[in-house]
Amino acid sequence: MDADRGNPLYSNRAEDLEVREAIDKFVVSLAERIDRIQDAEARGDFKQIAELCAPLVGEAEHLGFSPLARMAEVVGACADQEKSEETHQQLLGLTGVAHRIRLGHRGAV
């Protein structure tokens, strides 16, 4: 997996016309969503971290971004248990996966 860290990550549903627009909107909004989770983490607001991760899990899975869904699920679980350091470390991983998804977007530079 380390070799993949800088590589773009694409939806496994990218060719599905029914979700193409939803994928685009999801990817465009992803940085802001991750920022909100990071802000909650900076405040030590574990409840909000978990609340923000829950819908991210479902949407990411539905739109074909399983690695993001798994990471968001882990971050949410760590936050539910108020494990500060583990939440932080997993959030770094979530941020990395989100970055790879954004790299795969047609608007990426």
In a domain, 6, yes or no: no
User: Is 5 part of a structural domain of the chain?
Assistant: no
Residue 36: pLDDT band (50, 70, 90) is very high
Q: Predicted confidence band at 2 (pLDDT cuts at 50, 70, 90)? A: very low
Domain membership of residue 7 (yes or no) is no
Phi, psi of 26 (to 5 degrees): -60, -50
pTM, entire model: 0.91
Residue 49's CB is within 10 A of a number of other CB atoms, namely 25
Q: Which of 101, 109, 108 has its CA nearest to residue 14?
A: 101
The answer to whether 40 and 49 are in contact (CB under 8 A) is: yes
| pLDDT tens readout for residues 21-32 | 999 999 999 999
Is 97 contained in some domain? Answer: yes
**pLDDT one-digit tens code per residue, 39-98:** 999 999 999 999 999 999 999 999 999 999 999 999 999 999 999 999 999 999 999 999
Question: For the chain, how many structural domains are there in total?
Answer: 1
In a domain, 98, yes or no: yes
CATH number at residue 24: 1.20.120.160
The half-sphere exposure of 90 on its side-chain side, counting CA atoms within 13 A, is 24
Indicate whether 109 belongs to any domain. Answer: no
Outline where DSSP puts E strands in 12-79. none
| pLDDT surpasses 80 at 109 | no
Burial 72-99, CB ≥16 within 10 A → b, else e: bbbbbebbeeeeeeebeebbeebbebbb
Domain that holds residue 73: 13-103
Cα-only R_g, the chain: 14
The pLDDT of residue 106 = 74
Residue 8 lies in a domain: no
Q: Is residue 3 part of a domain?
A: no
